[in-house]
Amino acid sequence: MQLAHTMIRVRDLDETLAFYRDFLGLREVRRKPIGDEATLVFLTDERESYHIELTHNHDGRDYTLGDQFGHLAFYVDDLEAIVAKVEEHGWWYRRSKPEASSKYIFVKDPNGYDIEILQQPS
């Protein structure tokens, strides 16, 4: 597996972008609105060796330090093979909707953290 991105939840998207983009020098590579619920912004370094996903939930919720962490995401070459392994272990998972632009599942690690496993884009 290859690490795809790390996601953190942010209260103020503009202020956070000023830090990550303007101060740290990361570049915005994609912005994806999720209806009225949230906006996802993906940032990367100049070599595109990693991505950080900033998730801004529009409901105005507040976070205590430590609960902004969302999930780790990994790319795999064969998502269906991973699904079969998850099912073999009897682990709970949630699959992307058929109409979603990317194919993925979310599975929980033994500590309850969400792990996103994405089909490697072609």
Active-site residues, by number, are 116
Q: Which residue has the tokens 């994806």?
A: 32
Kind of pairing between the strands at 104-108 and 51-57: unpaired
Kind of pairing between the strands at 51-57 and 2-9: parallel
| Whole-angstrom distance, CA of residue 14 vs CA of residue 16 | 5
DSSP run (H or E) holding 32: strand 27-34
Count other C-beta atoms under 10 Å from residue 110's C-beta. 6
Kind of pairing between the strands at 104-108 and 93-95: antiparallel
